[in-house]
Structure 1
Amino acid sequence: MDSTQLALLALAAGIILGVGVTLIVVLAFRARERALREQSLALPPALTAALDAIDDATAVIDSSGAVVSVSASATWLGLTPGQGLEQPELRELVKAARGLGSSTESQTLRIRRGRISDDTRLVVARATTIADRLTLLIVRDISEQERLQQMRQDFIANTSHELKTPVGAIGLLAEAMESASDDPEQVRRFAARMSAEAQRLGQLTGRIMNLSKLQAADELTEVGDVAIDEVVAAALEQYQVQAESADVALVRGGDRGLFVRGSATILVEALGNLVANAIAYSPRGSRVGIGVRGTAEAVEIAVTDQGIGIAEADQQRVFERFYRADQARSRRTGGTGLGLSIVKHAVNRHGGEVRLWSQPDRGSTFTIRLPRTEAPLVGAESAKRKRKGARAVDAA
Structure 2
Amino acid sequence: MDSTQLVLLALLLGALIGVGITLLLVVAVRARERILRENSDALPTGVSAVLAALDEPAAVVDSSGTVLEISHAADSLGFVPGRPLEYPGLRDLLKVARGAGTAHESMRLPTGKLKGQERLISARISRLTERWFLLIARDLTEQERLQQMRQDFISNTSHELKTPVGAITLLAEAIDTAADEPEEVRRFASRISAEAERLGQLTGRIMHLSRLQATDELTTFGDVAIDEVVTAAIESNAVQADSEGVELVRGGDRGLYVRGDAQILIEAVGNLIANAIAYSPRNSRVGIGVRGDGEAVDIAVTDQGIGISEADQERVFERFYRADQARSRRTGGTGLGLSIVKHAVYRHGGEVKLWSQPDRGSTFTIRLPRIEAPVREPERRPKSSARKAARSLKKEKA
TM, length-normalised to structure 1: 0.77
Are the aligned partners of 2:354 and 2:364 in contact in 1 as well (CA < 8 Å)? yes
Q: What residue number does 2:262 align with?
A: 264
Q: What residue number does 1:62 align with?
A: 62
Distance in 2 between residues matched to 1:291 and 1:32, nearest whole Å: 73
Are the aligned partners of 1:41 and 1:134 in contact in 2 as well (CA < 8 Å)? no
Q: What residue number does 1:126 align with?
A: 124
Secondary structure of 1:380's partner?
A: coil
Over 3 Å counting, the alpha-carbon distance change for 1:311 and 1:77 in structure 2 is closer
Aligned match of 1:209 in 207, 210, 213? Answer: 207
Over 3 Å counting, the alpha-carbon distance change for 1:276 and 1:53 in structure 2 is closer
What root-mean-square deviation, in Å, do the aligned CA atoms of Structure 1 and Structure 2 show? 3.4
1:82-135: CA deviation from partner (whole Å, max 9, x where unpaired): 4433332222322223323x434x322223468x99763322223333333333
Over 3 Å counting, the alpha-carbon distance change for 1:212 and 1:48 in structure 2 is same
Does 2:176 match 1:181? no
Matches within 5 A, 1:265-344: 265-311=263-309, 313-344=311-342
Over 3 Å counting, the alpha-carbon distance change for 1:33 and 1:366 in structure 2 is closer
Q: Which amino acid aligns with 2:341?
A: V
Q: What residue number does 1:151 align with?
A: 149
Q: Which amino acid aligns with 2:61?
A: I
Q: CA deviation at 1:341?
A: 2.1
Over 3 Å counting, the alpha-carbon distance change for 1:62 and 1:220 in structure 2 is same
Over 3 Å counting, the alpha-carbon distance change for 1:28 and 1:214 in structure 2 is closer
Q: CA deviation at 1:377?
A: 1.9
Q: What residue number does 1:95 align with?
A: 95
Could you tell me which runs of 5 or more consecutive residues in structure 1 were left unpaired when the two chains were aligned.
1-14, 383-396
Distance in 2 between residues matched to 1:68 and 1:286, nearest whole Å: 60
Distance in 2 between residues matched to 1:363 and 1:111, nearest whole Å: 35
Over 3 Å counting, the alpha-carbon distance change for 1:113 and 1:39 in structure 2 is farther
- Residue identity over aligned pairs, in percent, reads 68
Are the aligned partners of 2:211 and 2:217 in contact in 1 as well (CA < 8 Å)? no
Secondary structure of 2:108's partner?
A: strand
Secondary structure of 2:267's partner?
A: helix
Matches within 5 A, 1:1-396: 30=29, 32-100=32-100, 102-104=101-103, 106-112=104-110, 120-217=118-215, 220-311=218-309, 313-358=311-356, 360-361=358-359, 363-380=361-378
TM, length-normalised to structure 2: 0.77
Over 3 Å counting, the alpha-carbon distance change for 1:298 and 1:86 in structure 2 is closer
Q: What residue number does 1:7 align with?
A: none
Distance in 1 between residues matched to 2:72 and 2:296, nearest whole Å: 35
Over 3 Å counting, the alpha-carbon distance change for 1:359 and 1:40 in structure 2 is closer
Over 3 Å counting, the alpha-carbon distance change for 1:125 and 1:178 in structure 2 is same
1:237-285: CA deviation from partner (whole Å, max 9, x where unpaired): 3233333333444444444333221111111101111222233233445
